Amino acid sequence: MDEVALRRSIIEHCLEMNASGLNAGTSGNISVRWGDGLLVTPTGIPYRDLAPGDLPFMRFDGTWQGPLAPSSEWRFHLDILRNRPEVNAVVHTHPPYSTALAIKHLEIPALHYMIAAAGGNSIRCARYETYGTAALSEAVLEALEGRKACLMANHGMIATGPSLDRAMWLAVEVETLARQYVLTLQLGGPILLDDAEIDRVVEKFKGYGMRSKAAPDLPLSVPGATTVGSATSAAGISPPDRRSCKAHRRR
């Protein structure tokens, strides 16, 4: 993809982020690795008013060029891309369910096998730090250790990926998991999958490497995985598992 096409794609993904309900207004921001830095959404401009040339280019030393200043949240975008060479795109939004959990400093536990799409058996919640600070970057990088997504306390969510399509896809999945978690908390709490099962699904996801175009290395569903956690009744309604529920409260 050439630079103009990439810039156009970032704007299209911003519009998609709002159309899908993943974001409201201009609170979200997107970055994509480019050359020795990144292209990042500018600060405070409605996405529909953006032209490809408006997106600032930032070098990894923090200097930037462009007609508009980078998002006020550029720092963690830059720090994630600088510290995680396998990541090429970062999507950050304040979607309702992920943010509700983050306001309660809750991480998302292994309530569904799709949690493995984020790289492990949980989606952690980064501790609260003021937006735009190096301290927030540090908190986010810790929460992203071995993961592709995280929540951010009293703030929102971050999803990363080897491409912008993948990062955006994961952002939707994380918000879906967050919504499922909030709903099951109302039913007494989820029954969680064990670590061995999540490890299996993480491996299965890796195996789908070249097959899917829509969500490049991930299936929309994993055959056979629906029987996992079959301790549930036929109706799928089970007594609350309070032990599991407490176990994932943020320490």
Measured from the CB atom, the residue of 41 and 88 that comes closer to Zn ion is 41
DSSP for 117-145? GGTSS-B-EEPP--TTSHHHHHHHHHHTT
Distance CA 180, CA 4 (A): 38
Measured from the CB atom, the residue of 42 and 156 that comes closer to Zn ion is 156
- End-to-end Cα, the chain, rounded Å: 43
Min separation Cβ 191 and Zn ion, Å = 32
Which token pair is 4? 């103009």
State the DSSP H helix or E strand holding residue 58, giving kind and residue range, or none if neither. Answer: strand 57-59
Distance CA 66, CA 55 (A): 7
Measured from the CB atom, the residue of 156 and 189 that comes closer to Zn ion is 156
Min separation Cβ 72 and Zn ion, Å = 9
Kindly list the residues in this chain that would bind Zn ion in the complex (CB under 5 A): 156
Is 73 an annotated catalytic residue? yes
Of 3, 73, 173, 197, which residue is the catalytic one? 73
Distances in Å between the Cα of 22 and the Cα atoms of 157, 199, 214, 232 are 10, 28, 18, 30
Min separation Cβ 131 and Zn ion, Å = 6
Specify burial of residue 226 (Cβ count, 10 A radius: 0-12, 13-18, 19+). Answer: exposed
Measured from the CB atom, the residue of 76 and 205 that comes closer to Zn ion is 76
Q: Which residue is nearest to Zn ion (CB)?
A: 156
Min separation Cβ 238 and Zn ion, Å = 36
Q: With contact defined as beta carbons under 8 Å apart, do 80 and 140 qualify?
A: yes
Catalytic residue set: 73
